[in-house]
């Protein structure tokens, strides 16, 4: 009998990915398409169901274990209700119910960082460690926790929100109502904002030339390219992001004492630009014993980790 597959669906702020995932996290056929702007839950469920059916049609029904969905926001994994998704602009959307009406497979839905953490646990830690924290450094900053071989969701499925731990108590207001959240300082959006502000104050950088003077076009990817060309401002932005991430992770290392920390998402691809200041800060700020014990890695799956993890939660 061929190996059973799950369909993993990653609903991101800019793109949606879906693909077949076997129980070890190996990826089969995938498709991706842009996230439609300002779509209500029902229209989104229609769109996703249509695409999923097209993928599922040629496969024997008995081959498919189920469907897993990862989406940014405050999700109730038991009821499948998206309580709040700032990216999609949704509140209390019964998204699992909407999908179940059209896709007659077992469906699981969870926070995107939670499914990514599960993906990292199965695929990269090979289920061999007891605890793992996955940090998604994307547009914002998310986190997921695996403990004792299980996804740790906390009391209401909200656990892992490292992006909304306070970095600077008197800092920048955050959309969540708090101020000084980590996400406001090291998310991709935050870095692009910081670049724009620095340029407006008159700093010279190759970034200005790269966007032909239109600083609204500065993206995290461009900052990375500028850093690779040795641009001082870009390098400094990474230095700062790495240090700030280090302040947050040092707190988490002291509090959670995890076996592994896996970094994923756009910023994690900046490699040593961010890892060097990060490691330096951890050494300065975290307790020696838990710091020595923790293994800090960058996910090799990066952009696909969410989709793979979504498929893997459907295998459980």
Q: Which is nearer to a second copy, 272 or 283 (CB)?
A: 283
HSE (side-chain half, CA atoms, 13 Å) at 18? 23
Select 165 or 298, whichever has its Cβ closest to a second copy. Answer: 165
The least distance separating a second copy from the CB of residue 310, rounded to whole angstroms, comes to 21
Q: Which is nearer to a second copy, 18 or 261 (CB)?
A: 261
Nearer to a second copy, 30 or 178 (CB): 178
Give least dist CB 242 to a second copy, A.
13
Q: What is the 3-state secondary structure of 143-183?
A: EEEEECCEEECCCCCCCCCHHHCECCCCCCECCCCCECECH
Q: Where are the alpha helices (DSSP H) in 76-213?
A: 95-102, 112-123, 183-186, 188-200, 206-210
Report CA Rg, the chain.
20
Residue 152 has which token pair?
Answer: 């740790």
With beta carbons less than 8 A apart as the criterion, state whether 292 and 282 touch. Answer: no
Q: Considering the complex, state which of residue 29 and residue 156 has its C-beta at the smaller distance from a second copy.
A: 156
We find the least distance from the C-beta atom of residue 315 to a second copy, in angstroms, to be 22
Which H or E run contains 233? helix 232-256
Q: How far is CA 156 from CA 69, 80, 143, 222, 295, in A?
A: 18, 12, 15, 38, 28
- Cβ proximity to a second copy: between 5 and 186 the closer is 186
Q: Residue 22 CB, nearest distance to a second copy (Å)?
A: 29
Binding residues for a second copy (CB under 8 A): 74, 83-84, 130-131, 143, 147-148, 152-162, 164-169, 176-179, 244, 247-248, 250-252, 254-259, 284-287, 289-290, 292-294
Structure tokens at 11: 């609903």
Provide, rounded to whole angstroms, the least separation between the CB of residue 17 and a second copy: 27
CB neighbours of 227 closer than 8 A, spacing ≥ 6?
A: 234, 235, 237, 238, 270, 273
Q: At closest approach, how far in Å is the CB of 75 from a second copy?
A: 10
């Amino acid at each position: 009998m061929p190996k059973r597959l799950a369909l993993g669906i990653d609903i991101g702020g800019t793109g949606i990915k879906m693909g077949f995932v076997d129980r070890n996290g190996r990826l089969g056929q995938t498709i991706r398409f842009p996230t439609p702007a300002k779509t209500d839950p029902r229209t989104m469920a229609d769109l996703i169901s249509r695409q999923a059916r097209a993928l599922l049609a040629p496969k024997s029904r008995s081959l498919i274990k189920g469907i897993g969905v990862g989406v940014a926001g405050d999700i109730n994994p038991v009821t499948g209700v998206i309580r709040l998704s700032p990216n999609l602009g949704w509140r209390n959307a019964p998204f699992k119910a909407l999908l179940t009406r059209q896709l007659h497979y077992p469906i699981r839905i969870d926070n995107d960082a939670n499914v990514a953490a599960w993906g990292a646990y199965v695929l990269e830690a090979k289920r061999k460690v007891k605890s793992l924290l996955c940090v998604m450094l994307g547009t914002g900053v998310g986190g997921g926790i695996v403990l004792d071989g299980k996804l740790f969701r906390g009391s209401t499925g909200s656990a892992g929100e490292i992006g909304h731990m306070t970095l600077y108590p008197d800092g920048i207001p955050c959309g969540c109502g708090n101020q000084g959240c980590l996400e406001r300082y090291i998310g991709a959006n935050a870095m692009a904002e910081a670049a724009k502000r620095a340029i407006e104050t008159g700093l010279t950088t190759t970034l200005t030339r790269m966007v032909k003077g239109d600083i609204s076009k500065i993206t995290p990817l461009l900052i990375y390219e500028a850093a690779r060309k040795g641009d001082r401002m870009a390098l400094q932005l990474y230095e700062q992001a790495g240090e700030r991430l280090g302040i947050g992770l040092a707190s988490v290392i002291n509090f959670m004492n995890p076996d592994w920390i896996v970094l994923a998402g756009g910023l994690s691809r900046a490699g040593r630009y961010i890892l060097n200041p990060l490691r330096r800060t951890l050494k300065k700020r975290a307790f020696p014993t838990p710091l020595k014990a923790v293994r800090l890695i960058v996910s090799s799956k990066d952009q696909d980790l969410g989709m793979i993890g979504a498929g893997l939660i459907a295998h459980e």
